[in-house]
Amino acid sequence: MVHDLIDQLYQTHHLTHAQWVTVLTDYTPDDQAYATQLAHALTIAKFGKKIFFRGIVEYTNYCRNDCLYCGIRHSNHQVKRYRLSKAEILACCEDGYQNGFRTFVLQGGEDPYYTTEIFEEIIATIHQRYPDCAITLSIGESTKAAYQRFFDAGADRFLLRHETASPALYRRWHPAYQPFEHRMQCLKELKAIGYQTGCGFMVGAPFQTIADLATDMVFTTEFQPEMIGIGPFIPHSQTPFKAYSAGNEQLTLFILSLCRILLPDVLLPATTALGTVQGNGRQLGVLAGCNVVMPNLSPLRFRKQYLLYDNKAGINDDAATGIQKLSEQMQTIGYQVVRSRGDFQPRKKEY
Ligand code: 5AD
């Protein structure tokens, strides 16, 4: 039954909500092995045994938002806050560039210190200094006008996980001043502007049901993202969700494979969270259909202050060590990390 639905997904790139619920509820280890194999074959057909790597610069841990699951939420007064100057951000990029990175991901909490003007200037400078590099933003919700200015200044891609496509669950995870509708609106605006856009969600977060995950798959199908960020929920000890257990690694891997079968061209990172719940999680992710890894370029002295969840992997590795460890991990499974920008490239739509 699930096997047939996986075949249907492969052929039509679409399942109904009810079918997604069946797949995610009834799958056996054999079904998962089948999806893994299919996803893996599709990934190799499209990308070869090559992994794109992106350097993340966590430039601020100040955040005006108060997401109940996140370690840098506004109400967590135990976090020591920091923000990087333009010069410090540029130094991270330079370090990354020297180590072969050709995509920089600027990620931060929603920090009003970086006004549209300040951030636009930072993007423009990176763009001028590294014209052969892609710039990805992971900076949360903003206005369409600001997104447009960042795009015009040289940003290429934007990651904004939708977190959950179920409005009721979204409201349980976020305070009222973070409306679900605005996040969805942002995603649509980003795509309309022309960003390669990434949505995504956590697996196994508190109160999330299989029906919610099915809703995420339906939303992902409708949205047709160029990138998808998915990782297991991991509790952070200074958040209201501290007592909940982490998301299931196998279910996360299964969902990653299903995403690859759904959208064969999509850029799909094996996330740090996946590497945190299990040491070889990122390798398993690649074998399940992922084709991107995102090592950290942030200054080592701030790493422990940018913890969205406990026990985050890689917080002691500088850019050179991070990329070296990753290259070795990938080599052991027969993959090679590659230096290209790795933009989204759609195939001719024969489906
Ligand atoms: N566990 C796993 N992922 C988390 N994120 C935030 N908090 C956690 C957590 N406790 C994810 C969110 C966010 C991304 C940057 O990190 O999905 O969009």
Question: Other C-beta atoms within 10 Å of 13: how many?
Answer: 15
Q: What is the pLDDT of residue 45?
A: 97
- Helices then strands, counting H and E runs in the chain, come out as 13, 9
Instruction: Assess if residue 183 is contained within a domain.
Output: yes
Q: What is the pLDDT of residue 349?
A: 55
Q: What is the pLDDT of residue 348?
A: 61
- pLDDT 10s digits, 210-229: 999 999 999 999 999 999 99
What's the CA gap between 255 and 93, in Å, rounded?
A: 32
Q: Which atom of ligand 1 is nearest to the CA of 163?
A: 17
Name the percent of the chain lying above pLDDT 90.
95
User: 60, 70, 307: which to mutate for ligand 1, most atoms within 8 A of CB?
Assistant: 70
Pocket of ligand 1 (CB under 6 A): 69-70, 161, 163, 202, 231, 233-234, 236, 273, 308-309
Instruction: Assess if residue 43 is contained within a domain.
Output: no
Instruction: Assess if residue 191 is contained within a domain.
Output: yes
Residue 350 predicted with pLDDT over 70: no
Residue 18 predicted with pLDDT over 90: yes
CATH number at residue 178: 3.20.20.70
Mean pLDDT of the chain: 96
Distance from residue 205's CA to the centre of ligand 1 (Å): 10
Distance from residue 11's CA to the centre of ligand 1 (Å): 32
Q: What is the pLDDT of residue 339?
A: 86
Q: Which helix (H) or strand (E) holds 105?
A: strand 103-108
Structure tokens at 231: 């990782």
Distance from residue 289's CA to the centre of ligand 1 (Å): 21
Residues 6+ apart with CB under 8 A from 22: 1, 2, 5
User: 58, 59, 69: which to mutate for ligand 1, most atoms within 8 A of CB?
Assistant: 69
| For residues 5-29, average pLDDT | 98
Distance from residue 349's CA to the centre of ligand 1 (Å): 33
Q: Name the residue with tokens 């409306």.
A: 179
What's the CA gap between 280 and 278, in Å, rounded?
A: 6
Sign of the Cα pseudo-torsion (177, 272, 157, 58, in order): positive
Residue 351 predicted with pLDDT over 90: no
- pLDDT 10s digits, 246-282: 999 999 999 999 999 999 999 999 999 999 999 899 9
Distance from residue 9's CA to the centre of ligand 1 (Å): 28
Count of the separate structural domains present in the chain: 1
Name the percent of the chain lying above pLDDT 70.
99
β-partners of residue 231 are 202
Distance from residue 298's CA to the centre of ligand 1 (Å): 18
- pLDDT 10s digits, 44-99: 999 999 999 999 999 999 999 999 999 999 999 999 999 999 999 999 999 999 99
**Cβ–Cβ < 8 Å for 84, 59:** yes
Structure tokens at 8: 């249907």
Residue 295 predicted with pLDDT over 70: yes
Residue 159 predicted with pLDDT over 80: yes
Distance from residue 78's CA to the centre of ligand 1 (Å): 18
Nearest CA to ligand 1 atom 13: 161
**Cβ–Cβ < 8 Å for 166, 183:** no
Q: How far apart are the first and last CA of the chain?
A: 23
Distance from residue 70's CA to the centre of ligand 1 (Å): 6
Structure tokens at 16: 């109904």
Nearest CA to ligand 1 atom 2: 233
Nearest CA to ligand 1 atom 7: 70
Instruction: Assess if residue 182 is contained within a domain.
Output: yes
Q: Which atom of ligand 1 is nearest to the CA of 234?
A: 1
CA distances (Å), origin 195, targets 50, 92, 144, 188, 348: 23, 23, 12, 10, 20
Question: Other C-beta atoms within 10 Å of 238: how many?
Answer: 16
Instruction: Assess if residue 202 is contained within a domain.
Output: yes
Confidence of residue 347 (pLDDT cuts 50, 70, 90): confident
φ/ψ region of 180 (left if φ > 0, alpha if ψ in -120 to 50, else beta) reads: alpha
Instruction: Assess if residue 223 is contained within a domain.
Output: yes
Nearest CA to ligand 1 atom 6: 70
Distance from residue 313's CA to the centre of ligand 1 (Å): 14
Instruction: Assess if residue 253 is contained within a domain.
Output: yes
Sign of the Cα pseudo-torsion (152, 142, 190, 207, in order): positive
Instruction: Assess if residue 8 is contained within a domain.
Output: no
- pLDDT 10s digits, 104-122: 999 999 999 999 999 999 9
User: 67, 158, 201, 202: which to mutate for ligand 1, most atoms within 8 A of CB?
Assistant: 202
Structure tokens at 330: 């990938």
- pLDDT 10s digits, 170-192: 999 999 999 999 999 999 999 99
Q: Which atom of ligand 1 is nearest to the CA of 308?
A: 7
| For residues 125-149, average pLDDT | 98
**DSSP-assigned states of every residue in 195-243:** -EEEEEEEES-TT--HHHHHHHHHHHHHH--SEEEEEE----TTSTTTT
DSSP 278: S
Query: Which domain does 141 fall in, by range?
Result: 52-338
| For residues 141-157, average pLDDT | 98
| For residues 5-18, average pLDDT | 98
